[in-house]
Chains A and B, each alone.
Chain A
Amino acid sequence: MRVLFVSKNFEQRKEIDSHEHDPEEFVMLIDVDRCISCGACQLACEIEHGGAIGMPGSFRPIDVQGKDKDAESPLVYLPLACRHCESPCDYYSPYNFWTTCPKGKKQEKKFISCDSCIDRTREGMWPACATRCSMKTIYFGTFHDIAFTLGEKGLREMGDVDITG
């Protein structure tokens, strides 16, 4: 599974449109412009995988990323998904997908890696975080589907597709 962050402010189309990918590979698409850092994805993960609140098995951290120094710059809110990088994360930190913890502190708690809700995807359903996202920030599907979703988003910006009516 890949995780792609998209925003009106940066160009992701090329990567999606390029034919280097297996069109059937799963992709998690995160529309940065819509995230309000509400934490529904985090809770979704807990409800799906545990049921007990605060259970160490849950791991979808949300962090508020502010641009440095410039107080006038807009904040970016991100659901930080596990990216399945090559060196799986051992750190309990908001940056748990980084190879090394930026704080340089190793914690006791270990987090279970994201299994993209395999029980749900087998049934043909999106993972819990994408399903429960309160702002329709997280999309899930194959490269093929995601290219379609991005196309639809582009249309929506031009006002052609109504998604509320």
Chain B
Amino acid sequence: MTSLTHMNKGDSAVIRALQGHQELRFRLQEMGFTPGAQVKLVARAAFGGPLAFALRGTTVALRRSDADCIFM
């Protein structure tokens, strides 16, 4: 399983699992990053900054370390 940080711009993927701190995991799922959800990488900010994903009709940006807890 690889994390969402390994996606290329424009790629789509289906979330399979989440790891990491319970509070963070929960927060991410509240934002819509639940297992089974489809995401698409829209943009990557400079210098290892946040990644922007299109999911569930909206766009959500996540810090890289947060995206590293989500696996596809």
A binds B: no
